[in-house]
Chains A and B, each alone.
Chain A
Amino acid sequence: MTAPSSAETTDTSNGHVRDASAIALKNLHKRFGRDAIALDGVDLDIHAGEFFTLLGPSGCGKTTLLRILAGLEAPNEGTLTIGGKQVTDTPPHLRSVNTVFQSYALFPHLSVRDNITFGLRMKGVPANERRRRVDEIADFIKLGALVERRVNQLSGGQRQRVALARALVCEPDVLLLDEPLSALDAGLRTQLQVELRRTQKRLGMTFVFVTHDQDEAMVMSDRIAVLDSGVIQQVGPPHEVYERPVNAFVARFMGHVNLFEIQAVEGARVSTALGSLTMERPLPADQQQGMLLIRQEVIELGPEVPEGYNALEGVVRERLYRGSRVEYRLEVNGILLMATASNLGQRLYPVGDRVTVSICPEDVVRLDA
């Protein structure tokens, strides 16, 4: 059905992928103080040239993981390998990794140009090459005349670009981005999401991106890792994480609301509080517990039920008109069911109307509680 939109295509042929930039995390543990566990055994492989996103609510450990990649935090246990080299204990200034910080962390006492040059200066790149590379990156990011400004004369979006240029100019193996768009307004955010993704594809650089916004994660990423309580819940491309979440946490975090506990299983028929639903194929013996997910956009409303579909009777309790789509809060067997219909000019059901709800067996997904 509706696959979540990924800007451009998911697996474009990257211009050139550098093998030096594959990341392997093994059994990472990080504790703060005695009982605050930030990471609880993280195993993860990030491919070279990939736009990889760490997604999760605040406090899930995603920022800690990013800081460990940068070298700003040391894990209590486990190893970190970048480009085949073990860098677990390498200090940040000796790693070919650069970060775009959430607050941008631009040096307020330096000009924009001096900010961008900083990394090259610390690396000991000669002055004329520094100038050339800064001009190059300024051109690439389209900074234009901003380069000669002072940091305090820049707007939020401009600061974000400067922070990106400052990190990219060093040509690191891996670029880390810590919620770099969270401080921007919605319009600018959308624009920069697309720009960031294009930049990554053009450079073929490995990007590790941290966000708590699942829409942002889906639009930008090649693959997403969903974290909760310091544990990775699921890793996969956006459509997989969205359409086949492995558990209730991932499903809720990706924005799903129609989750119903499995009460009994009889072949391909599963009973829940919503009613009895037929699935595409019978559940294997080890999967007869857990939850059923019905995404709200797969639910069809109407008098006629397509062949082989599950049919339920419901009442419209609330209708939210959102322009491109219409959301209904339905009551089915005393249970709330959310349904979203694309606005194709069809009849809108008024509140109080009785409707027939059709669900394709293929769209009934089982997941862990």
Chain B
Amino acid sequence: MVKTDETEPNSPSPYPLAAYSRSMSPDTRHLLWSVAPGAIWIAIFLVLPSFYLIGVAFMTNGPYGQPQMPLSLDAFRQLAGFGFLGWSPGNLYTLLRSLWQTFVATGLVILVAYPLAYHISICREKWRPIMLLAVVVPSWTNQVIRAFGWMNLLSPGTPMADAAQFLGLIGPNMGLYPSNFAVTLGLVYNFLPFMVLPLYAAFEKLDMALVEAARDLYASPVRAFWHAVFPQTLAGLLAGTVLVSIPAFGMYVVPELLGGGRAMMLGNLVANQFSGGSNWPLGAAGALIMLIATFGGLYAMRKVGKRLGGGEEVVI
């Protein structure tokens, strides 16, 4: 950073940064000053903690769960399931469960949101904002409160639990929670708005002329949907998938409250290492794996988008 010597070789300035600043063109200086607050914010709250996290992941677990030297791969070994008693599949299950839950929940969200967004887009104009509001408003309430709401709805003795018992889906005197089902339900409920909104945006500007062109060119209604409607909503669908699947993958509140101990996801595993379990390096390693998986997912989605979009860049 300090390059005063080059710009003013004869008199070393007592304020090297100010001197450096003067050496730049006014445009560059303005640009730097205008991005500085954001850059500093990102540096302090994103870059530094990330590096700290990576550092911690490669340290050794101390007697009180605090990270300490020397550097080692212990945390990753533990994450993979190697403990004092040999290998156990618990963590691997948690990882697989997280992936599966994310996959199922995202798929269900799409199944619900796609027709819903379409329906809102063809509603009378005055109803549209109201219906969108109805979709969004629940997400303004705290997640924890909503999870408790579902606990009340799904616990033993409630109409939903009774109905499930009547159908033989669960045993007598049992509730629908805690269970994997409750977690999936919670995830779908939580993330629905994040899929509805981008899809609604896509449907709202749907070019019906393309649909008519497809129909005119011998496409049956189903094929017209696939060839003329779906491609137009693809960008919205991918955006929604990213907005839903990434936070769902790291979800903490829903599996914690609706899953009991049985439906733990990666977010809970990580959180436990920083609180109850107290193994910071293990938690950091878990967080790091989540980060890598997220980037991998984003990359894959980009590829899929490009493929389905006929080589067109789909911005995520």
Contact = CB atoms under 8 A, between A and B. Distances in A.
B219 A99 contact: no
Interface in A101-141: 101, 103, 105-111, 114, 118-119, 122-123
A103 to B, nearest CB: 5
A92 interface: yes
Nearest to B224: A93
Interface stretch (B10-18, B38-46, B206-214): B206-214
A97 to B, nearest CB: 8
Contacts of B228: 107
Nearest to A124: B218
Interface string A77-114: 00000000000000111100111010101111111001
Contacts of B212: 70, 72, 92, 99, 101, 105
Which secondary structure dominates where chain B touches chain A? helix
Nearest to B207: A105
A105 B227 contact: no
A94 B207 CA distance: 22
A119 B310 contact: no
Interface size class of B (residues with CB under 8 A): 20 to 34
A166 interface: yes
Given A92-B215, A118-B227, A123-B218, A110 B209 contact: no
A119 B228 CA distance: 13
Interface in B85-122: none
Contacts of A99: 212-213, 216
B216 A92 contact: yes
A230 to B, nearest CB: 21
B122 to A, nearest CB: 16
Interface string B198-233: 000000000101101111111111011001100100
A170 interface: yes
Contact of A98 (B216, B220, B309, B310): B216
A106 B228 CA distance: 10
When A and B form their complex, which 4 residue pairs have the shortest distance between CB atoms, in order from nearest?
A119-B217, A105-B213, A122-B218, A105-B209
Interface of B: 207, 209-210, 212-221, 223-224, 227-228, 231, 309-310, 312
10 contacts: A70-B216, A72-B212, A92-B215, A98-B216, A107-B227, A109-B309, A109-B310, A118-B217, A119-B218, A122-B218
Given A71-B216, A118-B217, 14 more contacts: A70-B212, A71-B215, A92-B215, A93-B215, A93-B224, A98-B217, A99-B216, A105-B209, A105-B210, A107-B213, A107-B227, A109-B309, A118-B219, A118-B227
